[in-house]
Every structure is written in C-alpha cells, then in structure tokens.
C-alpha cells in the first residue's frame, strides 16, 4: 500500500496535467501563416421537396481535384435539411460544386479568391436538383 504524501500528490497531478495537455494538443489549431495558401469554404444546404426519399451526391472540386464527395438519401420531408461543408486550399483556377440525383445534375463554378465563403441552397423538386448560390464573404452576391 502506498502512502500519499504531498510529493506523490504533486507528481500525480503533474502527470495527469501532462496527459491532459498531450491529449488536447491535437485540438488546438494555429492560424495560417503569411506564407500558407488561403482556404475557401463551400456550404451546401440540401432540401427534398418531394414526397419520396431521394438519393443524392454532392461533389466539390478545388482547382481540378476532387476535394470532397458526399452522398446519401434525403428524407421525404421538406422541413429537414442536410448541410455539407467542404474546406479546401485555394489554388489556381476556379472551384466547382455539383449536386446530382437520379433526375439530373446541376452545379457551377466560382472563383474562391473572389469568394472564399460560398453558400449553395439546393433543393430536389420532382427528382431534379435546383440551387441558388450566394457569396457569404469578400465579394458580394454571386
């Protein structure tokens, strides 16, 4: 049996504090430095206005590479919304998003340098995707 003394208590607290700090180390983000490329973000909010479930796929491309791909099934409930967020480093050239269902595909390109915070409000009507896009930062409405 170990007898607790102020010294063993301090050692245990120090060890516990070190473990906590090590565990949280990955949770702290550092701001981008002057030399790091800027980031852009696209938020896609998707709603199903149909009376049937609809499978969907959302693809985001940043500078000709697939950045994020999301897929799933939208419930047959217009009050529910799926929100997808993709963040990527700004490269040379435009970025692109697309929304695809069994009824069709739609999308567009935008310049992430001009609009680093892009928002897409998409809906599925009669199985076909439609959307409205807005720039939420540094560039006004798109």
DSSP letters for 22-45? HHHGGG--PPPPTTSPPEEEEEEE
What pLDDT sits at residue 36?
Answer: 73
Give the H/E segment covering residue 55: strand 54-62
Q: According to CATH, what is the number of the domain 39-137?
A: 2.60.40.4150
Give the pLDDT confidence score for residue 21 in this predicted structure. Answer: 46
The pLDDT of residue 138: 62
Distance from C-alpha of 2 to C-alpha of 11, rounded to nearest angstrom: 14
Q: What is the pLDDT of residue 132?
A: 98
Low pLDDT (below 70) residues in the chain: 1-35, 64, 138-142
pLDDT in tens, 113-126: 999 999 999 999 99
Of 47, 71, 68, 67, the C-alpha closest to 57 is 71
């Amino acid at each position: 049996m170990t007898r607790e003394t102020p010294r063993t208590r301090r050692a245990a607290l120090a060890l516990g504090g070190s473990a906590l700090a090590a565990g949280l180390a990955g949770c702290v983000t550092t701001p981008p430095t002057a030399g790091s490329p800027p980031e852009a973000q696209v938020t896609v909010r998707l709603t199903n206005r149909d009376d049937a479930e609809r499978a969907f796929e959302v693809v985001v491309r940043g500078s000709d590479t697939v950045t994020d791909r999301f897929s799933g099934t939208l419930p047959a409930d217009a009050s529910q919304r799926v929100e997808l967020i993709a963040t990527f480093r700004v490269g040379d050239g435009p970025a692109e998003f697309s929304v695809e269902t069994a009824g069709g595909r739609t999308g567009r390109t935008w310049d992430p340098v001009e609009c680093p915070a892009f928002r897409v409000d998409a809906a599925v009507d009669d199985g076909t995707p439609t959307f409205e896009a807005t720039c939420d930062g540094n560039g006004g409405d798109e």
